[in-house]
Structure 1
């Protein structure tokens, strides 16, 4: 048997620290497990649905932290960003959360951690402490009075018993030397195996996300085409028809009285000017030139300055993003400000544009908060309400992003749109 080296002792110390840390977090695992069991009977009554996002969010956070600790101990790379739960959810969304693969993985990890973390942590303490105790105390059995002898696993009243105690200390030490790294590896590898999805599941999830993003992109593209067609038909086309009519009237008037043709020419010129302005507006809505001239921060400043409701703008944490993403953020902000001006009854709007760094990509975040009456909802297009927010959600989904809406009755309303920059 080789004597322990300094590197081996450091490795065993790291194993023991990892096991003891997991034993401490076992209390949190036990707490969330008890909370889930207490909540379970109330789910069928509907009362527990209100607490479900909090419980699942806490479980998700604990699982993410455990995955990070295990990955750090094992030197592994976490293959994906753990989900983050926040905001308000409908009944259908809560049902989807409960049955989601991420929730099943988190629950599996919770049972695994609650069953083994405390035992592993207890052994990480008991084995080394027992080894030291038997080796260091057994030789001093003579210092104990005869009526109260040294008692551990065995009663030591003689040197043979003392040698047996020291032998037990060696056994405890050998067990600690061999078992601590084995338990630490099993606990970390088990955590990573449960919480890290298999490659097939990850690819399947990515394909579903891409399919949903493609469908949203096609829907957003079709909606944009219909909007541009409607603007051209109702705006520039009608004005150009007016120009043709005015020119025709001017031509007829010029044949008999040239002076009478002047008012028709003037009206034709005004209609042509309005048609040109409509065409410029339509082109502006496709890609605003102000984004090229001033960037997203400057374009957002121009939008907020034109808002009928006083706005504050914070772009301190904003970085440049791909042109398509900045264009989407611009239209999201424009639509959110329009919605607030039309429906919120607010006296103030706060706008924040910033870039948040994630493990895989940066995310451009647009936050619009107003102090209005609240009660905003995202309704399907054609339902008569919430179509503006539905358009924002559709535009965000086309880029693989999402809309998070918080609008309790009485306000405030907070619209948060996340747009991934790796587009």
Structure 2
């Protein structure tokens, strides 16, 4: 009998602690709700382009923490994918963020939390405190002078009133004993029900993401095949045709004058050497052997050392990723450095490679920034779903990076105001 009673008491204490924490966080929820009510009416005027994404990110973070607290109380395992809303956004993107299903879930939880968390926290404190106070304080009413009697639920001036106060305290205790676990279960289950993605919505989102990633992968694969075919046709194939021609001329010359065949043989050897170099370059473009030898950090060091613009490299926190992801990151970095060298007029480039851990997966982050003239942007046809840049210029290099990132379910974001600086960020999920 002792063990069940102890377990029941621990259950009540745990429920009261959970309700107290939610009541404490009610202040933060209320402040965020007030900020949203004040700010959202100004969104059509363009005032909210900068603070609204931060507000939504804060709301998403609070929702993630509330879901973690509810999951810890109920011992549930629930997925939560926090959104990264940093950077600049256009009006259309902000409007899409405000109307997205994730924002609707977060806003619904905020209203739910503001409505019930404070009441639950007050009951978690008030019911046990009132029970203890009424039961133990009422018998001491004779110590109080008649002109200043003990005031609890009502003035206690007699033993009958003291007995009624004690009974009321017992009632408070019973109500707290029965009500607190129920309140904690309702509040935690409501939080999880609101914040946890609906299974249909989650499946729909996954299907859309997989469809988009498959289309991007096919597009990127087709582009790679065309590029390799073009390199082989314009490079190694032409040189091999030259080898065949030189050898044919050497054969004809050898029939009449063997000495005259030697220059043709030498030219054929030179063409064969160039063709071999072209083939090696094409193979290198398919999968750089340096990735196997030195990893992404070493390969990135080789790329930055060859950059015509002074380039710094930070690989602190970089972990090994699947070979396909590292290969994509290598080519993203190579294309970004090439774009900066061709178009930025920069005097310095900074490269950061690191692995960020988010719930459920690791993300390989590639950041390239320069102090050039800016004005870079993703072409409109590829900006959807991959982030959007600011500026006036567009280019096929950024479109290729966007396609390569989308093929792995990743994102590309470019911030490049006119006059600079420019920052490119690519996130590649390692568990694609």
Alpha-carbon spacing, 1:43–1:137, altered in 2? closer, same or farther (3 Å): same
TM-score scaled to structure 1, two decimals?
0.92
Change (3 A) 1:381 1:40: closer
What are the ranges of 5 or more consecutive residues in structure 1 without an aligned counterpart?
none
Deviations 1:318-360 (A, max 9, x none): 2222221121111111112212222222222232322233332
Shift of 1:7: 3.1
Q: Which runs of 5+ in 2 are unaligned?
A: 383-391
405-414 or 289-298, larger mean C-alpha shift: 405-414
Q: Is the 8 A contact 1:353 1:364 kept in 2?
A: yes
Which residue in 1 is equivalent to 2:133?
A: 133
Aligned pairs for 1:9-408 within 5 A = 9-250=9-250, 260-379=260-379, 385-408=394-417
CA deviation string 1:85-118 (max 9, x = no partner): 2222233322221221111111110111111111
What residue in structure 2 maps to residue 415 of structure 1? 424
Return the alpha-carbon distance in structure 2 between the equivalents of residues 98 and 106 of structure 1.
Answer: 10
* 8 Å CA contact 1:380, 1:386 repeated in 2: no
> By how many angstroms is 1:245 displaced?
4.3
Q: Secondary structure at the match of 2:169?
A: helix
Q: Structure 2: how far apart are the matches of 1:70 and 1:386?
A: 47
Output the CA distance in 1 between the equivalents of 2:60 and 2:5.
Answer: 40
How many residues are treated as equivalent by the alignment?
422
Deviation at 1:222, TM superposition (A): 0.9
Shift in CA distance, 377/400, structure 1 to aligned 2, threshold 3 Å:
same
Residue 134 of structure 1 and its aligned partner are, at CA, apart by 1.0
CA contact (8 A) 1:380 1:390 kept: no
Instruction: Between 412-421 and 17-26, report the one with greater CA deviation.
Output: 412-421
Q: TM-score, normalised by structure 2?
A: 0.90
By how many angstroms is 1:71 displaced? 0.7
Pick which of 270-279 and 31-40 moved more: 270-279
State the 1:197 CA deviation.
1.4
What is the SS of the residue equivalent to 1:350? strand
Could you tell me whether the CA contact under 8 Å between 1:381 and 1:387 is conserved in 2?
no
1:259 Cα deviation from its structure 2 partner: 5.0
Question: Deviation of residue 186 (structure 1)?
Answer: 0.6
- 1:299/1:204 CA distance change after superposition, 3 Å: same
Cα displacement (A) at 1:279 = 1.7
Instruction: Indicate the larger mover: 124-133 or 5-14.
Output: 5-14
Deviates more, 1:316-325 or 1:173-182: 316-325
CA 1:384/1:139 → structure 2, altered by over 3 Å: closer, same or farther? closer
Q: Distance in 2 between matches of 1:100 and 1:361?
A: 23
State the Cα distance separating 1:63 from its structure 2 match.
0.8
Is the 1:345–1:372 contact (alpha carbons within 8 Å) kept by the matching residues of 2? Answer: yes
Q: Secondary structure at the match of 2:369?
A: strand
The change in CA–CA distance for 1:381 and 1:282 in structure 2 (over 3 A counts) is: farther
**Residue 54 of structure 1: CA displacement?**
1.3
Please say which of residues 178-187 and 249-258 is displaced more in the overlay: 249-258
> Contact 2:109 / 2:191 at 8 angstroms: preserved in 1?
yes
Q: Per-residue CA shift, 1:65-84, capped at 9, x if unaligned?
A: 11111111111112242323
Between stretches 164-173 and 344-353, larger displacement belongs to 344-353
Q: 1:45 to 1:351 in 2, by over 3 A?
A: closer
Give the SS at the match of 2:79: coil
Q: Which segment is superposed worse, 232-241 or 140-149?
A: 232-241
Distance in 1 (alpha carbons) for counterparts of 2:375 and 2:274: 38
Q: Is the 8 A contact 1:60 1:84 kept in 2?
A: no
Range with greater deviation from structure 2 (198-207 or 310-319)? 310-319
Q: For residues 380 and 271 of structure 1, do their structure 2 counterparts lie closer, same or farther at Cα, with a shift above 3 Å needed?
A: farther
Question: Which range is displaced more, 81-90 or 114-123?
Answer: 81-90
